[in-house]
């Protein structure tokens, strides 16, 4: 399956962060647009679409939470990843409870940001593949005009479970590769206990040694 090119709207007013993010993300198959204010971002989304909003929570012209609520209401399919300093981390946690996908602490480390966005991209690809396989099964096996009954959001629960398991395995392998097979480093990046990561590695049959020479 080809890599999905996500369109990211970066909502940020610091020129250095904007240029650095555009360069880093552009080199990794992400399409990046920039809005310097919340209002500019809302106007952009009236005319254009994007997959991800990468949002600085501390812009001044309106409350960050007010902006997020507008995104959640008007554009429910957009995933929101927050950029936050330590002084606004409580707001970021609150925002994830209300629907934001994730948050990244400033100062931004490119490797951490890419890992979060790669995880989001992988999950989007898996959902897309699951929908495609479901449609293929419906069209191939049933008479014209008859569809399989949908459950919940239309995804087959068992195949979604398998997809999520495969996603977790692939993401752990991806992280191990980025960290050159270093389990302690990988655990810190993933923000999980080293022992838990070792259990996951064993569960999915991964081999950290394979990544140490890459």
Distance, CA of 96 to CA of 25 (rounded, Å) = 23
Q: What is the CATH number of the domain that holds 23?
A: 3.40.50.2300
pLDDT for 149 equals 46
pLDDT of 142: 45
Do 173 and 130 lie in one domain? The reply is yes
First to last CA, the chain: 23
Answer yes or no: is 165 within a domain. yes
The pLDDT tens digits of the residues spanning 152-192 come to: 445 555 665 676 677 788 778 877 877 778 888 888 777 77
Do residues 55 and 96 make contact, with C-beta atoms less than 8 angstroms apart? no
Q: What does the pLDDT read at residue 127?
A: 63
Among 108, 140, 169, the domain-final residue is 108
Buried-exposed string 4-15: b where 16+ CB fall within 10 A, e elsewhere? eebebbbbbbee
pLDDT at 37 over 60: yes
13 or 5, which is more confident: 13
State how far the Cα of 98 lies from the Cα of 92, in Å rounded to an integer.
Answer: 10
Assess whether pLDDT exceeds 90 at residue 9. Answer: yes
147 is a domain residue: yes
Q: Is 1 inside a domain boundary?
A: no
Task: State residue 196's pLDDT score.
Answer: 81
- Cβ atoms within 10 Å of 119's Cβ, excluding its own: 19
pLDDT for the residue numbered 44: 97
Most confidently predicted of 18-32, 144-158, 199-213: 18-32
29: nearest Cα among 168, 128, 167, 124? 124
The answer to whether position 172 is within a domain reads yes
Mean pLDDT of the chain: 80
Structure pTM?
A: 0.62
| pLDDT average, residue stretch 39-58 | 94
- Name the domain boundary from 47, 77, 108: 108
* Minimum mean pLDDT range among 100-109, 117-126, 137-146: 137-146
Residue where a domain stops, chosen among 108, 132, 152: 108
**Residue 2 forms part of a structural domain:** no
- Is residue 137 predicted with pLDDT exceeding 60? no
pLDDT band at 209 (very low <50, low <70, confident <90, very high): confident
For the chain, how many structural domains are there in total?
Answer: 2
pLDDT of res. 130 = 61
Highest mean pLDDT: which range of 35-44, 138-147, 150-159, 203-212 = 35-44
Q: Which range marks the domain in which residue 13 is found?
A: 7-108
pLDDT one-digit tens code per residue, 108-119: 988 889 988 888
Residue 105: DSSP 8-state: E
C-beta of residue 98 within 8 angstroms of C-beta of residue 68: yes
């Amino acid at each position: 399956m080809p890599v999905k090119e996500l369109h990211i709207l970066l909502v940020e007013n610091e020129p250095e962060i904007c240029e650095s993010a555009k360069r880093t993300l552009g080199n990794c198959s992400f399409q990046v647009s920039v809005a310097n204010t919340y209002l500019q971002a809302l106007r952009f989304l009236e005319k254009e679409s994007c997959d991800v909003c990468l949002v600085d929570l501390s812009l001044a012209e309106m409350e960050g939470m007010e902006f997020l609520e507008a995104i959640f209401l008007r554009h429910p399919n957009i995933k929101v990843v927050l950029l936050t300093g330590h002084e606004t981390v409580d707001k970021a946690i609150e925002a994830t409870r209300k629907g934001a996908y994730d948050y990244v602490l400033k100062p931004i480390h490119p490797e951490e940001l890419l890992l979060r966005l790669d995880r989001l991209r992988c999950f989007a690809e898996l959902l897309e593949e699951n929908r495609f396989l479901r449609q293929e099964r419906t069209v191939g096996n049933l008479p014209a005009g008859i569809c399989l009954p949908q459950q919940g959001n239309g995804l087959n629960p068992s195949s979604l479970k398998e997809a999520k398991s495969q996603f977790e395995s692939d993401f752990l392998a991806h992280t191990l590769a980025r960290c050159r097979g270093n389990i302690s480093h990988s655990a810190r990046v993933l923000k999980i206990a080293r022992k838990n990561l070792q259990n996951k590695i064993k569960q999915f049959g991964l081999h950290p040694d394979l990544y140490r020479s890459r």
